[in-house]
Amino acid sequence: MTDNAKLIVDGKERSFGIVQGTKGERAIDLAGLREGGGLLTLDEGLGNTASCLSRITYINGEKGVLLYRGYPIEELAGKSSFVETAYLLIHGELPTRSELSVFSNRLNDSSLIHEDMRHFFVAFPKYAHPMGILATMVASLSTFYPVPDHLDPEAEEQFMANLISQVRTIAAFSYKKSIGEPTVYPSIKLRYVENFLNMMFSSPVKDYRQDPDIVRAVELFLILHADHEQNCSTSTVRLVGSSMANIYSVISAGISALWGPRHGGANQEVIQMLEHILATGTDPKTFIDRAKSRNARERLMGFGHRVYKSFDPRARILKQAYHQLLKKLKTADPLFEIAMQIEELALKDAYFIERNLYPNVDFYSGLILKAVGIPADMFTVLFAIGRVPGWLAHWREMVHAKEFRIARPRQIYIGPSERHYEPINSRGLKKCP
Ligand code: SDX
């Protein structure tokens, strides 16, 4: 394979190096392209653009492979915990027992938010979407916990722990706000996921009994959502972080990007799509045919992916876990039947086959959260809780990189040529030919 690429424009030949990654993916290193000849690259949606070099997560979209720091997602999903996976993503290695204990204690010590922040919850309207609350509250953490411009290693660890832990607390508080119940504080006696479930579902008049199957399902959900290389929200975190904005603002920006229905908001859309099909008695085949028409508002939510052109490995794991959970909870869900019908029909449909559209992580994730009692408008919030360690890992990798510069893409201007100001009286008058 060649190690450089030649570009011939206007008869002038230029050579650019080719960068090769650990798993063989290659990129043309276009540094200096514009300076040397005034040319830019155009790649709307950035599907053909590598924005950085990273050691954190590897995805092979054709083969459905996902590695966190080299470990297959299937192994971490089966053997690790969310806190251990968070440590791995951020620090690059699985923790020793003592490292894990220090990290867990740091998370526990950071799990409260400033008591004055509780007043914000009073001000939010009852119907406020918890993603709007989360993005707002995380950004406002910087007012209660000011972040110095330069963080020493200890401070960096502390602020990252704060975010992993406080995001979970804010999420639970926003749920309690939405149901008009008093907030439940984090407990030193409970591990990360149990603490979250306790803050969500216990109350002064009702103890919450931790069901190990439910705890494991939520743990699995968070592990599977912990990172996914340069997706929209992680790229947002890198872009905002490149201006050296404080870490709370950076993560708040990631939360806002994740909220979109094309991204993390899809898990809530999938449930709404399945409930619509059930409530209206729409034949799944009819729904799929509608989702194929270009002008359809409804796309087949939970299907398709910019990178996976085969089954998203996370969808496979979630589907199996959901099936097992239903059996353990001795419950059934008509939405699961519909989901499996949709999946079976779509996987045989030429439109989806030709476009390599397969179930992605969001197709089954909402079903698993619904089964454990999480309300639909909290699904993307849980996605955000899961993704915080990935966002922090990318932020940390970027700010410590040798080439840490502000990200500032260019554009190709296609607007009007230069023209001159017109007094208001002469505007809009038809120009005589
Ligand atoms: C996540 O990037 C990540 O890693 C994200 C994520 C992560 O962990 O961070 O994996 C999490 O966001 C998963 C994706 C969740 N979103 C959805 O499920 C929403 C539904 N899916 C689509 O909107 C779409 O598939 C995207 C947004 C996920 C990907 O969009 P692309 O890569 O820009 O593809 P596209 O829109 O250019 O579609 C290509 C073709 C088009 O048809 P044609 O123009 O060729 O005729 O496929 C069609 C699209 O209309 N298409 C779909 C479809 N997805 C794509 N048609 C019907 N239903 C769909 N779901």
* C-alpha R_g of the chain: 24
Residues in contact with ligand 1 by the CB-under-6-Å rule are 45, 228, 231, 262-264, 266, 291, 294, 299-307, 355, 357, 360-362
Q: Kindly state whether residue 204 falls inside one of the protein's structural domains.
A: yes
pTM exceeds cut of 0.85: yes
Task: Judge whether 387 and 314 are in contact, CB under 8 Å.
Answer: no
**pLDDT tens across the length of the chain (433 residues):** 778 999 999 999 999 999 999 999 999 999 999 988 889 999 999 999 999 999 999 999 999 999 999 999 999 999 999 999 999 999 999 999 999 999 999 999 999 999 999 999 999 998 999 999 999 999 999 999 999 989 999 999 999 999 999 999 999 999 999 999 999 999 999 999 999 999 999 999 999 999 999 999 999 999 999 999 999 999 999 999 999 999 999 999 999 999 999 999 999 999 999 999 999 999 999 999 999 986 656 689 999 999 999 999 999 999 999 999 999 998 889 999 999 999 999 999 999 999 999 999 999 999 999 999 999 999 999 999 999 999 999 999 999 999 899 999 999 999 999 999 999 999 987 666 5
Count of beta carbons in the 10 Å neighbourhood of residue 423: 6
Q: Which atom of ligand 1 is nearest to the CA of 363?
A: 18
The CA 306 to ligand 1 mean position distance, Å, reads: 6
Q: Kindly state whether residue 33 falls inside one of the protein's structural domains.
A: yes
**Residue nearest atom 45 in ligand 1 by C-alpha distance:** 355
Same domain, 33 and 86: no
Q: What is the CATH number of the domain that holds 167?
A: 1.10.580.10
Q: Kindly state whether residue 68 falls inside one of the protein's structural domains.
A: no
Same domain, 92 and 20: no
Same domain, 226 and 94: yes
**Residue nearest atom 4 in ligand 1 by C-alpha distance:** 231
Q: Kindly state whether residue 74 falls inside one of the protein's structural domains.
A: no
Q: How far apart are CA 405 and CA 399, in angstroms?
A: 9
Number of residues written out for the chain: 433
Same domain, 145 and 46: no
Tell me which of 227, 349, 362, 394 is the catalytic residue.
Answer: 362
Same domain, 24 and 140: no
> Could you tell me the two tokens for 39?
């040319």
Q: Which atom of ligand 1 is nearest to the CA of 291?
A: 57
Q: How far apart are CA 257 and CA 259, in angstroms?
A: 5
The CA 262 to ligand 1 mean position distance, Å, reads: 7
Q: Kindly state whether residue 27 falls inside one of the protein's structural domains.
A: yes
In the residue annotation, 305 being an active-site residue is answered as yes
Query: Cα 226–228–232 angle (5° rounding)?
Result: 110
Give residue 195's domain range: 82-230+247-256
Same domain, 154 and 13: no
Same domain, 155 and 12: no
The CA 305 to ligand 1 mean position distance, Å, reads: 5
Q: Kindly state whether residue 270 falls inside one of the protein's structural domains.
A: no
Same domain, 106 and 221: yes
Same domain, 93 and 224: yes
Q: What is the CATH number of the domain that holds 11?
A: 2.20.28
**How many structural domains is the chain composed of?**
2
Q: What Å distances lie between residue 312 and 86, 360, 409, 432, CA to CA?
A: 21, 5, 30, 60
Q: Could you tell me where the DSSP H helices lie in 242-330?
A: 247-258, 266-280, 284-292, 313-328
Q: Which atom of ligand 1 is nearest to the CA of 234?
A: 9
Same domain, 37 and 119: no
Q: Kindly state whether residue 109 falls inside one of the protein's structural domains.
A: yes
Q: Kindly state whether residue 410 falls inside one of the protein's structural domains.
A: no
Site to substitute for ligand 1 among 56, 357, 363, 388, most atoms within 8 A of C-beta: 357
Q: Which atom of ligand 1 is nearest to the CA of 292?
A: 57
The DSSP 8-state label assigned to residue 95 in this structure reads: P
**Residue nearest atom 24 in ligand 1 by C-alpha distance:** 304
Tell me which of 129, 225, 228, 305 is the catalytic residue.
Answer: 305
Same domain, 41 and 172: no
Task: Judge whether 258 and 264 are in contact, CB under 8 Å.
Answer: yes
Same domain, 96 and 209: yes
CB-based burial, 272-289: b 16+ in 10 Å, e otherwise: ebbeebeeeeeebeebbe
